Amino acid sequence: MEKILNTFLNETEPTPYNFFIDEQEVKSNLESAIDRLTLSEEKVLKILYQPQAVFKVRAVTRCSSSLQGHAREVLHASFSPDGQHLASGSGDTTVRFWDIKTETPHLVCKGHKLQVLVTSWSPDGERLATACAAGRVIIWNPSTGKQLGKTMMNHNKWVMALSWEPLHLTEDGLSIRLASGSKDGDVRIWNTILGTSVVLSNHTKCVTSLRWGGDGLIYSASEDRTIKVWRASDGVLCRTLEGHAHWVNTLALNTDYEDRKEKALKRYKEALRMAGEQERLVSGSDDFTLFLWEPSKSKKPLERMTGHQQLVNDVKFSPDTRLVASASFDKSIRLWNGLTGKFISTLRGHVSAVYQLCWSADSRLLLSGSKDSTLKVWNIANKKLEIELPGHADEVLHYGEDDELEIKL
* HEC string for the chain: CHHHHHHHCCCCCCCCEEEEECCEECCCCHHHHHHCCCCCCCCCCCEEEEECCCCCCCCCCCCCCCCCCCCCCEEEEEECCCCCEEEEEECCCEEEEEECCCCEEEEEEECCCCCEEEEEECCCCCCEEEEECCCCEEEECCCCCCEEEEEECCCCCCEEEEEECCHHHCHHHCCCEEEEEECCCEEEEEECCCCEEEEEECCCCCEEEEEECCCCEEEEEECCCEEEEEECCCCEEEEEEECCCCCEEEEEECCCCHHHCCCHHHHHHHHHHHCCCCCCEEEEECCCCEEEECCCCCCCCCEEECCCCCCEEEEEECCCCCEEEEEECCCEEEEEECCCCCEEEEEECCCCCEEEEEECCCCCEEEEEECCCCEEEEECCCCEEEEEECCCCCCCCCEEECCCCEEEC
Phi, psi of 338 (to 5 degrees): -70, -15
Q: For residues 77 and 85, is the Cβ–Cβ distance under 8 A?
A: no
In order of 71, 162, 225, 319, the CA distances from 115 in angstroms are 12, 15, 26, 31
The per-residue pLDDT for 143 is 93
What is the rounded CA–CA span in Å between residue 145 and residue 115?
A: 18
Cα of first residue to Cα of last residue in the chain, in angstroms, is 41
CB 93 within 8 A of CB 110: yes
Distance, in Å, from the CA atom of 371 to the CA atom of 361, rounded to the nearest integer, reads 25
**Under 8 Å between Cβ of 203 and 216:** no
In the chain, domain spans: 2-51
Residue type, 17: Y
Give the length of the chain: 409
For residue 107, the Cα-to-chain-centroid distance in whole angstroms is 26
Note down pLDDT in tens along the chain; length 409 residues.
677 777 777 766 667 777 777 666 776 677 677 777 766 677 777 777 766 655 555 556 667 678 888 999 989 999 888 888 899 999 999 999 998 888 788 899 999 999 999 999 999 899 999 999 999 999 999 999 999 999 999 999 999 999 999 988 887 778 899 999 999 999 999 999 999 999 998 899 999 999 999 889 999 999 999 999 999 999 999 999 999 999 999 999 988 766 554 454 555 555 555 555 578 999 999 999 999 999 988 999 999 999 999 999 999 999 888 899 999 999 999 999 998 999 999 999 999 999 999 898 788 899 998 888 888 999 998 899 988 876 554 454 444 454 444 444 4
User: Regarding beta strands 159-164 and 147-152, do their DSSP bridges make them parallel or antiparallel, or are they unpaired?
Assistant: unpaired
| CA atoms of 218 and 53, how far apart (whole Å) | 29
Task: Indicate yes or no: pTM above 0.85.
Answer: no
CB atoms within 10 A of CB 180: 26
C-beta of residue 119 within 8 angstroms of C-beta of residue 169: no
Q: Is the dihedral of CA 67, 72, 77, 79 positive or negative?
A: negative
Give the residue among 315, 398, 403 at the shortest CA–CA distance from 360. Answer: 403
